[in-house]
């Protein structure tokens, strides 16, 4: 029998101890890392995940969308994938910022007597350029307008009368997820407190401080003005919806593109269009390609005054093209086809193109395709030719619709801010759905009676205090239908603000220059503005939640 070697045996034991210590150290370190991750990780809200949205939209009986004239929520509503830690500062943040500004300016001017050696006398004139005036206005606005976030102010200027100051500021609504800014300018009456500080004695309404209105660059629309009479206006400098251009043959050749031909989605209702468009855009992002986008939209008959489908509408009338350009890689279809045609003319070597005749070829099968252009063609009969079919079945696990890339048009949102501002952001709203649904007694047996003038008065009196500003978002065509509410509330309807899209409005002039001819304020625009104003109300009363027990989609669908 072989005896153990006394010189080598301790080495083996030491080696085993060393390995044990290393393994234990790795184990402790791993536990520590997992613990830190578990503490700091914040899972996404499942109700705002794209998978939840996909479930909601795909639980339908067939492959076609039911006609719905409501507005599908876009990116600024659902707020998906928005990395914006300071997107919605709280009132406490605003107060803190204002306090910091007060502290910084305290040594310069806080009290009138510190900026000029005069007695504390209310008869003396206010110096609007005094920083103390701006501080007083900031504090007044923070107390009065709880629903908006003030972003920056311009220095006050003199108003029309003594002790009046006009101030301009930019703001955003707390309920809006986007970074878009809006502008207001108001006139304030300035007085003095007992300790000689400035205070706001009174404030006028929306856009009253005309002396503080910043001049904007005028339209450069010489060609358009020869054919269309455009009334004098100023362009919103915050809107840049120009069409991007590739610029060179080399830039075109080095790109990778996903091109969708028109399918059965064209001229369908807008919710169907959005669902299909975001599917296509999601596939382009999955394939890491630039999406070739057709800016021409066909508006379904449900939104038109002619009650017929109307082609040739511009995507930019309804959605924020500037934000889309910043959020996704896109190229406009006409520019793309021009570049493609120029390349084929100037070069013998053709562009590699992969034609895909059916949606059944999945995005996963195209992932490794090296062709410059992947061209999906939708030539089969409906519903096989719907764009959104590409994102069904297994593809739904891979394609994520980029909801964050689609915002409503800022031109429409300017109208929303104008209406809300004219009500001083202090209003309640009721959504009254009538129209065809109220006439269809088979699917909605009680809707007509539950939204009658007497029923509205009885129900709203239990929800909204009397003589509040009440905005009525509705598809009811008769303006005087809500007259009985006027005995109890200050009633506002969309048609009360026709001047905001009339032929002297900024919206009219900007869309006319964009389109080359006047643009109709169509049914979808009306619904979009109605819906967004409704979202900004302090108290919101829904038809199918508060006013009637009928189901939104008809009987037995609740």
Instruction: Tell me how far the alpha carbon of residue 404 is from its chain's centroid.
Output: 9
Give me the phi and psi of 474, to 5 degrees please.
Answer: -155, 160
Predicted confidence at residue 121, as pLDDT, reads 65
Sketch the domain layout of the chain as residue ranges: 91-212, 249-405, 410-547
Instruction: Classify the C-alpha dihedral 147-148-149-150 as positive or negative.
Output: negative
Q: Across the strands, what pairs with 490? A: 469
* pLDDT tens readout for residues 173-224: 887 777 778 889 999 999 988 888 899 999 998 888 889 887 654 444 433 3
Angle at alpha carbon of residue 421, lines to 419 and 424, rounded to 5°:
120
> pTM of the full predicted structure?
0.74
CB atoms within 10 A of CB 199: 16
Predicted confidence at residue 244, as pLDDT, reads 80
Among the residues of 380-517, which ranges form H helices? 410-422, 435-439, 447-450, 453-460, 506-515
Predicted confidence at residue 65, as pLDDT, reads 55
410-547: CATH topology:
Rossmann fold (3.40.50)
Structure tokens at 451: 């939204």
Predicted confidence at residue 86, as pLDDT, reads 36
Query: What's the CA gap between 402 and 283, in Å, rounded?
Result: 10
Weakly modelled stretches of the chain, pLDDT under 50:
1-2, 4, 7-8, 44-62, 79-118, 217-234
Query: What's the CA gap between 214 and 233, in Å, rounded?
Result: 13
């Amino acid at each position: 029998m072989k005896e153990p070697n006394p010189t080598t045996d301790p080495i083996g034991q030491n080696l085993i101890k060393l390995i044990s210590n290393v393994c234990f150290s790795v184990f402790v370190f791993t536990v520590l890392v997992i613990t830190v991750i578990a503490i700091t990780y914040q899972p996404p809200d499942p109700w705002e995940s794209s998978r939840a949205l996909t479930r909601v939209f795909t639980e339908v009986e067939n492959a076609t969308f039911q006609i719905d004239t409501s507005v599908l929520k876009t990116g600024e509503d659902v707020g998906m994938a928005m990395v914006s830690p300071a997107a919605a500062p709280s009132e406490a943040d605003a107060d803190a910022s204002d306090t910091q500004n007060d502290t910084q300016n305290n040594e310069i001017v806080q009290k009138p007597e510190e900026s000029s050696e005069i007695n504390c006398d209310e008869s003396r004139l206010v110096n609007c350029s005094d920083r103390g005036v701006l501080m007083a206005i900031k504090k007044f606005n923070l107390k009065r307008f709880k629903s908006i976030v003030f972003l920056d102010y311009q220095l006050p200027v003199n108003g029309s009368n003594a002790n009046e100051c006009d101030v301009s500021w930019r703001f955003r609504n707390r309920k809006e997820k986007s970074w878009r800014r809006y502008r207001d300018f108001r006139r304030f009456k300035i007085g003095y407190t007992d300790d000689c500080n400035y205070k706001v004695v009174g404030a006028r309404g929306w856009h009253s401080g005309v002396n503080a209105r910043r001049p904007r660059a005028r339209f450069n629309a010489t060609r358009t003005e020869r054919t269309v009479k455009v009334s004098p206006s100023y362009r919103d400098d915050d809107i840049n919806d120009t069409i991007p251009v590739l610029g060179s043959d080399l830039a075109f050749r080095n790109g990778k593109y996903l091109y969708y031909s028109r399918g059965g989605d064209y001229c369908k209702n807008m919710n169907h269009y959005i669902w299909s468009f975001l599917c296509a855009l999601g596939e382009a992002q999955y394939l890491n390609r630039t999406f070739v986008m057709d800016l021409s939209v066909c508006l379904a008959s449900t939104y038109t005054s002619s009650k017929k489908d109307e082609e040739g509408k511009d995507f930019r009338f309804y959605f924020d093209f500037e934000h889309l350009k910043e959020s996704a890689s896109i190229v406009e279809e006409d520019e793309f086809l021009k570049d493609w045609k120029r390349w084929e003319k100037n070069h013998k070597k053709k562009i590699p193109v992969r034609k895909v005749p059916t949606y059944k070829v999945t995005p996963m099968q195209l992932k490794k395709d090296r062709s410059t252009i992947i061209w999906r063609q939708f030539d089969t009969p409906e519903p096989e030719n719907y764009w959104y079919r590409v994102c069904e079945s297994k593809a739904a696990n891979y394609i994520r619709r980029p909801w964050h890339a689609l915002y409503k048009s800022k031109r429409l949102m300017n109208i929303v801010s104008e209406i809300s501002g004219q009500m001083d952001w202090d209003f309640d709203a009721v959504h009254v759905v009538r129209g065809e649904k109220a006439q269809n007694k088979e699917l909605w047996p009680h809707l007509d009676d539950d939204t009658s003038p007497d029923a509205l008065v009885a129900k709203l009196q239990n929800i909204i205090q009397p003589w509040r500003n009440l905005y009525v978002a509705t598809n009811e065509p008769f303006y005087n239908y809500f007259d009985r509410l006027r005995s109890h509330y200050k009633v506002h309807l969309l048609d009360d603000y026709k001047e905001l899209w009339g032929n002297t409005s900024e919206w009219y002039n900007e869309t006319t220059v964009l389109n080359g001819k006047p643009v109709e304020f169509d049914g979808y625009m009306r619904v979009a503005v109605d819906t967004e104003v409704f979202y900004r109300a302090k108290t919101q009363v829904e038809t199918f939640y508060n006013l009637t027990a009928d189901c939104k989609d008809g009987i037995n669908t609740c």
